[in-house]
Chain A
Amino acid sequence: AYKRFSELLPKEERENACSARAPKSQILTLPELRANPFQHRICRVFSTSDSGDDSISFEDFLDMLSVFSDSATSDIKSHYAFRIFDFDDDGTLDRKDLEKLVNCLTGQDEESRLSNAEMEQLIQNILEESDIDKDGTINLSEFQHVVSRSPDFARYGGFQQ
């Protein structure tokens, strides 16, 4: 893991890799993240930089790899998945977050998006299935509840080492 991280850094900073930060553009060249529609959110969530430029230090890198590995518990995975899906960082998944999420899943082009009516119907169904307190948003515990009964989450939520 250390080797992979140091490869991302520019040459001058390689000896000091433990304390250096890799810029976001370099992180996005990782093969696992290259094709991932949530790449920006992943960088934002794992980055602990104060300047808001989403750069990743070695510790953040280790964090990311350990959350996506097979040995992470589903609790931790669902916690981080919630943070990744929460596009506006307000601690709940409301309609706008869900809309952005679905658009990420179906593709970035104009023609691959669902129509407005379909989006409404889909969001309605999702909220029906997962919103327990009927407040129109999904909070962390509701999300973890729904995800714990989903068989695909454990299978798909991991990188291959």
Chain B
Amino acid sequence: RDCWQADIKYSAGWKQWKRTSSKSWKKVLNEVKELSSYLELWRHDIHSIGGKFGTGIQSYFSFLRFLVLLNFIIFILMFSFVTFPSIISKYGIFNSTIAKIPPENIEPHCTVYKPSDNKGLVYFYTYLKDLLSGTGFLEDTSLFYGYYIIDAPWLSIPRYNLPLAYLLATFAYLGLSLLWIIKRSVEGFKQSLVHDEDQFQSYCNKVFAGWDFCITDPYAARLKHSSLQYELQTDLEEERLKRKIADRTMKDKLRIYSLRIFINIIVIAVLSGCFYSIYRVTVFSQENSNDVSNSNFQANLLVQYLPSMVITLANFIAPQIFSFLIRFEDYLPAFEIRLTLMRCVFVRLANIGVLLFSLWSQISYCATDKCKACGYNYELYPCWESDVGQEMYKLMIFDFIIIVAVTLFVDFPRKLLVTHCSCKPVQWCGLQEFGISDNVLGIIYGQTICWIGTFFSPLLPAIATIKYFIIFYIKKTSLMHTCKPAARPFRASSSNFFFLVVLLIGLVLAFIPLGISIAYIPSSKACGPFRNFNISWAVVPDTILRFPMGLQQVLHGIASEAFAVPFFMVICLIMFYFIALAGAHKRVVEQLREQLVMVRFDPLFCTPKV
């Protein structure tokens, strides 16, 4: 205190003015930041969840908010470039007309398409069935691909190339998602990198600087106590396990490695079982739902939803099996958690892939010559993109129904049971813990469906936005009223990064089916904006051929080998440079660390000030 008083006496008037002006500037900046944070959606809700349940669960809800915003932006993109022009030209607003270019060089039998319009008296439940399965009255709306048969709406003067817009909007939303996710994950990556580098004196750091002095709420304090205790205990346990692993004999190692190989074989067997069952069920469902017999409404609906049900069942059973098996593999606890999560992620995303693959095998199955002329099974699937869109729509609706049903029929009754019934087994089960990883994988699964399905069903992002919006409130209510706080606190920074990495894997996996649909499978000739093209991608070369000669030559030049090979070599050189730089930094860090250790024991540096 005496030092400070001396300081204040000797500072001149100018320095004081500088200090006060910088203080007021900081105040203004803080106030602006506070005001702008009021504009954030759900800011108060997420803050209160974080205070009560910890930062791990809070990161789940802010991840959900991110997905709501992403889906909303994707919807705006698709709507403004694809749906809106189609609607205004179909209804003739703004003096627009539609130009339907008659298809050339196409067999007439390929272009026959009659969406099953329900005419005349229909029962009420037909509408319900159509709403749930995307057929009937929904099939001809702008929800599905088949609606967009306009080739070129004329909006007053400019001619709007709808097929090109459709394709480019698809690439745009995929690119936008990729960039946004990478931007968010870079921030998380930096944090997790810094955190990992702290192995040097992790114990001292945790003990001397572990308590956050800003905590004022006793409940938050209790959470912090338990999280500190858990962190210290896991660190000590990991150290003990590492020592045990280092002491393993040759015989032990052989035994453990052979056990691991055996368990991995079991895992692969479980996965193949899942995939095969999904394949069989999809084939069965497609075969049986195509004989339209409206007599048995429930049976028909059940058959239609069978693939979704089997996928949900597989997504539920497989993680339980994996978490049971991993106990025998004797890994470190942190690695165990990561490996189980990666396996669950793989199961969920590969299930969608198998479903799509089985759909395509049905669509491209061609026995007759007539069928081969079209390129796809025109009898059963005159508009196959709409059918794929319907499957994605059904998956999304079913996912939503399951989440609502589980919350209503499992969580709330469990809470009622635990509070009112005091028998031993019920109390031992206890209240449910909010399983962060399961919930995150669930919403990533839903988001992958949305990304794949948006090409076949442009209004799907709107449904996804509404779905995630409602899920936020459902999960929040379920959390507040039926869950107890987790005994094992999650580390927020690394988990944020982990969620985004898995989301990125989902996005990359969504590229594959879309790529195959756009570039490989012939587009349906009876409906959709790509009627006149062999494959959907063909609209791009077609457009380029209409550009002025100069621009065409430039584009041809970029795509040719003369440009690609030097470009590739330059990219490789830049990559090698960055790898070398990273290696050099690592070596510098190692050297500095060794120096620090030397400094610790160097008597010159360590004269204690007594």
Contact = CB atoms under 8 A, between A and B. Distances in A.
Contact of B203 (A63, A107, A129): A129
B209 A157 contact: yes
A156 B213 contact: yes
B487 to A, nearest CB: 12
B21 interface: no
Contact of B225 (A68, A112, A130): A112
B221 interface: yes
A11 interface: no
Given A106-B225, A125-B203, A132-B601, A38 B232 contact: no
A109 to B, nearest CB: 9
Interface of B is mostly: helix
A51 interface: no
B600 interface: yes
Residue from the set A38, A85, A150, A156 with the largest chain B CB neighbour count within 10 Å: A150
| Band of interface residues on A | 35 or more
A152 B210 contact: yes
B214 interface: yes
Contacts of A130: 201, 204
Give the residue among A68, A101, A121 with the most B Cβ atoms within 10 A.
A121
B220 A35 contact: yes
A102 B56 CA distance: 24
A147 interface: yes
A38 B210 CA distance: 12
A52 interface: no
B203 A158 contact: no
Interface string B576-610: 00000000000000000000100011000010111
A159 B215 CA distance: 9
A126 interface: yes
Nearest to B237: A118
Interface string A135-160: 00001111100110111110011111
Contacts of B236: 114, 118, 121-122
B208 A85 contact: yes
A34 interface: yes
Nearest to B194: A151
Given A107-B226, A132-B601, A133-B608, A158 B209 contact: no
A46 to B, nearest CB: 11
A149 B216 contact: no
B509 to A, nearest CB: 36
B225 A159 contact: no
A36 B229 CA distance: 16
Contacts of B600: 132
Nearest to A104: B211
A38 B214 contact: no
A81 interface: yes
Contact of B207 (A38, A126, A139): A126
State which size class the interface on B falls in.
Answer: 35 or more
Nearest to A112: B229
A35 B215 contact: yes
Interface string B354-385: 00000000000000000000000000000000
B247 interface: no
Nearest to A72: B4
Interface string A116-134: 0010011001100110110
B40 interface: no
Contact of B213 (A107, A149, A159): A159
B201 A146 contact: yes
Contacts of B291: none
Interface of chain A: mostly helix, strand, loop or mixed: helix
Contacts of B610: 139
A129 B207 CA distance: 12
Given A35-B221, A36-B211, A158-B213, A150 B606 contact: no
A105 B214 contact: no
A102 to B, nearest CB: 6
B606 A132 contact: yes
Nearest to B1: A63
Contacts of B217: 35
A114 B221 contact: no
A7 interface: no
Contacts of A149: 200-201, 596
B228 A106 contact: yes
Nearest to A33: B216
B232 A156 contact: no
A132 B240 CA distance: 24
B107 interface: no
A157 to B, nearest CB: 6
Contacts of A105: 207, 210-211, 225, 228-229, 232
Contact of B232 (A36, A98, A114): A114
Interface in B227-282: 228-229, 232-233, 236, 239-240
Contacts of B216: 31-32, 34-35
B208 A129 contact: no
B214 A129 contact: no
B120 interface: no
Nearest to B201: A129
Nearest to B606: A132
B114 interface: no
A150 to B, nearest CB: 5
Interface string A85-121: 1000000000000100110011100001010001001
B213 A122 contact: no
Given A37-B225, A112-B229, A114-B232, A150 B205 contact: yes
A158 B212 CA distance: 8
Given A106-B229, A112-B225, A139 B608 contact: yes
B213 A146 contact: no
B198 interface: yes
A129 B214 CA distance: 27
B566 interface: no
Nearest to A35: B221
A55 B542 CA distance: 86
Given A147-B208, A156-B213, A34 B225 contact: no
B219 to A, nearest CB: 9
Ranked 6 nearest A-B pairs via Cβ = A35-B221, A107-B225, A106-B229, A153-B209, A152-B209, A31-B216
18 contacts: A63-B1, A85-B208, A105-B207, A106-B232, A118-B233, A118-B236, A122-B203, A122-B232, A125-B239, A126-B204, A129-B204, A130-B204, A132-B600, A140-B608, A141-B606, A142-B608, A147-B208, A156-B211
Given A112-B225, A122-B203, A147-B209, 20 more contacts: A32-B213, A34-B218, A37-B211, A63-B1, A98-B207, A102-B207, A107-B226, A114-B232, A114-B236, A125-B203, A130-B204, A133-B608, A139-B608, A146-B208, A151-B194, A152-B205, A152-B210, A156-B209, A157-B213, A158-B214
